[in-house]
């Protein structure tokens, strides 16, 4: 098929090595083509965008892209492109578009063949001669399709570079990085040392930590993270439990370009002891306390040059909050057992699911530390505010499960039940219930109903127990009157449970000593 060199070509492809290689193969024939990245869900919108461009492309090659939603809308856009004298050629070598072949053929040229990959279809259709580069495209695409793990060092580099640049889109909405990687794969742009460094960093990171979804709030979140990542200031991430605060912190670290590690610390486990919190955060020297036989660095020193993520920061004891403020201002830490400070270069990213302003008013969190940390703020929305992302989350989860040998799909009734629930546990709860349904081979709506029923029973039981306890303080008849010691013991145990068994916090709230509290609860 001959085409004029002055024609404006566009190559529409998607994320994944087969899509990248098929685009790179087309660039061997049409090197001046514009790379356009889309997805099976967004293909109709992408065709609409192409229609709005001036001048309109004269030839559009669509390779490695399926149709997930609205095939009729896709067909409408194709007809409008044809009316503008734009020729569309759609390549598919793996059978996933066969049901749409007749529909597509009305307004475009479907090139559907049985082949190992979409990349091979392009090579066969244009009879592109085999060369080391063309053979590389075919091999990489086949490895991707067949999910082969074994490959050469050079092949592994290209797999990881394409995956890295795709992750930049899902993390930050960065389309240019993926398009540039395709140009590098096609040998139209040279591979730089920075690319190899990015691949190495990507291999060390969690490859699939991304904020899943395409809702406006998630797209905005990606944009905010990309913009704030390189800024050398503390950041505070706010959001409910299970919404993905640590994922946002990890991506913020990746976007920072810092060479040091990402070190997460769960401050909730440090809430019971100031000495423990000081030790874990700032370290200790040999002999600092009984059993300290050698010096150990704290989280700050371990994270030197990188990012320290303080999850549930508000759980830190007040005395440690004071020390943390000093570290932020002086950029030094002082380990237990010494007066000598050590310089650290650490970016602090903190997170909380609580209302910090209320904690400040209650005297449980330092206002000066809050303002020092709250230079940059990122809010993670709850799942109930972005229900349209649930399908993306489910697709990603079930893709991982399919690789483990589990096959599952959600019915319309399942989705109706999912959308009717408010998901107090957010993404974490949704993914966990989805996995439970897959493993137990039960309808998702049934698993969800069981979860709701269990939560309701627990709440009713809690309220029932609470009503019985109220009788201690407000007896309705003489037979319900109890001794003062029993009433006090019940109250103290209840307060202790509010602080999850933390004797120090419960005693502070009651303004009594721990020994007194133990005595009143009958634990002494």
pLDDT tens digits for 157-207? Answer: 999 999 888 887 777 777 788 999 999 999 999 999 988 988 887 776 655
Closest listed residue to residue 270, CA positions, set 505, 428, 516 = 505
Residue 523 is encoded by which pair of tokens? 């634990």
Segments in 59-108 forming alpha helices (H): 71-83, 101-105
Residue partners of 479: CB distance under 8 A and separation at least 6: none
Say if residues 147 and 113 touch (Cβ distance below 8 Å). Answer: no
Q: Give the CA distances from residue 191 to residues 30, 178, 197, in Å, rounded to whole numbers and listed in that order.
A: 20, 13, 11
Q: Are strands 34-38 and 342-343 parallel, antiparallel or unpaired?
A: unpaired
Same fold: 9-204 with 383-453: no
> What pLDDT does 205 receive?
64
Residue partners of 269: CB distance under 8 A and separation at least 6: none
Beta-bridge partner residues of 158: none
> What pLDDT does 457 receive?
61
Decide which of 3.10.20.90, 3.40.50.300, 3.40.50.150, 2.120.10.30 is the CATH code for 216-379: 3.40.50.300
For the beta carbon of residue 500, count every other beta carbon within 10 angstroms.
Answer: 11
Through-space distance between the first and last CA atoms of the chain, rounded to whole angstroms = 90
Three-state DSSP class for residue 42: coil
**Fold (topology level) of 9-204:** Rossmann fold (3.40.50)
Segment 229-254 mean pLDDT: 89
Residues comprising the chain, all counted: 524
Question: Which H or E run contains 317?
Answer: none
E strands present in 197-251: 235-238
Q: Point out the least confidently predicted range of 80-89, 149-158, 215-224, 374-383.
A: 215-224
pLDDT tens digits for 379-408? Answer: 998 988 888 888 888 887 887 788 788 888
Q: What angle do CA 426, 66, 445 make, to 5 degrees?
A: 35
Distance CA 266, CA 270 (A): 7
Distance CA 362, CA 325 (A): 19
pLDDT tens digits for 209-227? Answer: 667 777 888 888 888 888 8
Distance CA 132, CA 140 (A): 12
Residue partners of 259: CB distance under 8 A and separation at least 6: 305, 306
Distance CA 253, CA 334 (A): 25
Closest listed residue to residue 251, CA positions, set 378, 386, 388, 371 = 378
Beta-bridge partner residues of 89: 61, 109
pTM over 0.75: no
Indicate the pLDDT class of residue 5, thresholds 50, 70 and 90.
very low
Question: Which H or E run contains 49?
Answer: helix 43-52
Q: Point out the least confidently predicted range of 326-330, 350-354, 453-457, 474-478.
A: 474-478
Mean pLDDT (the chain) is 84
Task: Output the CATH code of domain 383-453.
Answer: 1.10.8.60
Residue partners of 470: CB distance under 8 A and separation at least 6: none
Distance CA 245, CA 380 (A): 7
> What pLDDT does 236 receive?
94
What is the domain partition of the chain in residue ranges?
9-204, 216-379, 383-453
Q: Report percent pLDDT > 90 for the chain.
A: 28
Indicate the pLDDT class of residue 471, thresholds 50, 70 and 90.
low
């Amino acid at each position: 098929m001959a085409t004029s060199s002055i024609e404006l070509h566009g190559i529409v492809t998607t994320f994944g090595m087969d899509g990248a290689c098929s685009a790179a193969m087309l660039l061997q024939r049409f090197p001046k083509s514009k790379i356009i990245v889309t997805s099976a869900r967004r293909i109709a919108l992408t065709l609409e965008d192409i229609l709005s461009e001036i001048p309109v492309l004269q030839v559009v090659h669509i390779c490695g892209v399926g149709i997930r939603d609205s095939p009729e809308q896709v067909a409408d856009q194709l007809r409008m492109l044809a009316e503008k004298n734009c020729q569309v050629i759609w390549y598919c070598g793996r059978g996933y578009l066969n049901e749409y072949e007749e529909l597509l053929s009305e307004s475009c040229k479907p090139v559907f063949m049985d082949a190992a990959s979409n990349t091979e279809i392009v090579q066969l259709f244009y009879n592109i001669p085999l060369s080391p580069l063309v053979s590389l495209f075919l091999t990489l695409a086949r490895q991707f399709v067949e999910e082969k793990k074994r490959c050469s060092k050079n092949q592994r580099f290209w797999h990881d570079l394409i995956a890295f640049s795709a992750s930049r889109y899902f993390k930050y909405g960065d389309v240019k990085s993926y398009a540039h990687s395709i140009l590098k794969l096609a040998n139209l742009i040279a591979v730089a040392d920075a690319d190899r460094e990015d691949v190495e960093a990507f291999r060390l990171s969690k490859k699939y930590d991304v904020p899943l979804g395409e809702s406006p709030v998630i797209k905005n979140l990606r944009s905010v993270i990309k913009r704030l990542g390189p800024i050398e200031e503390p950041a505070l991430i706010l959001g409910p439990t299970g919404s993905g605060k640590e994922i946002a912190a990890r991506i913020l670290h990746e976007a920072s370009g810092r060479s040091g590690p990402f070190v997460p610390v769960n401050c909730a486990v440090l809430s019971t002891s100031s000495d423990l919190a000081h030790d874990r955060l700032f370290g200790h020297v040999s002999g600092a306390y009984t059993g300290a036989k050698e010096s150990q660095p704290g989280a700050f020193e371990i994270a030197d040059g990188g990012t320290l993520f303080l999850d549930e920061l508000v759980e830190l004891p007040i005395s440690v909050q004071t020390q943390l403020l000093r570290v932020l201002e002086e950029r030094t830490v002082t380990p237990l057992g010494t007066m000598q400070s050590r310089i650290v270069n650490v970016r602090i990213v903190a997170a909380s699911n609580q209302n910090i302003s209320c904690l400040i008013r209650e005297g449980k969190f330092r206002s000066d530390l809050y303002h020092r940390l709250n230079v940059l703020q990122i809010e993670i929305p709850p799942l109930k505010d972005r229900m349209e992302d649930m399908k993306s989350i489910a697709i990603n989860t079930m893709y991982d499960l399919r690789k483990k040998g589990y096959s599952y799909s959600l019915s319309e009734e399942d989705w109706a039940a999912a959308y009717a629930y408010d998901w107090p546990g957010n993404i974490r709860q949704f993914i966990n219930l989805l996995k439970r349904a897959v493993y137990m081979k039960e309808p998702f709506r049934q698993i969800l109903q069981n979860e709701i029923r269990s939560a309701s029973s627990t709440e009713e039981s809690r309220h029932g127990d609470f009503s019985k306890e109220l009788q201690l303080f407000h007896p309705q008849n003489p037979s319900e009157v109890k001794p003062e010691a029993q009433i006090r013991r019940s109250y103290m145990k209840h307060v202790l449970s509010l602080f999850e068994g933390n004797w120090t916090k419960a005693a502070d709230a009651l303004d009594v000593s721990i020994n007194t509290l133990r005595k009143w609860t009958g634990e002494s």
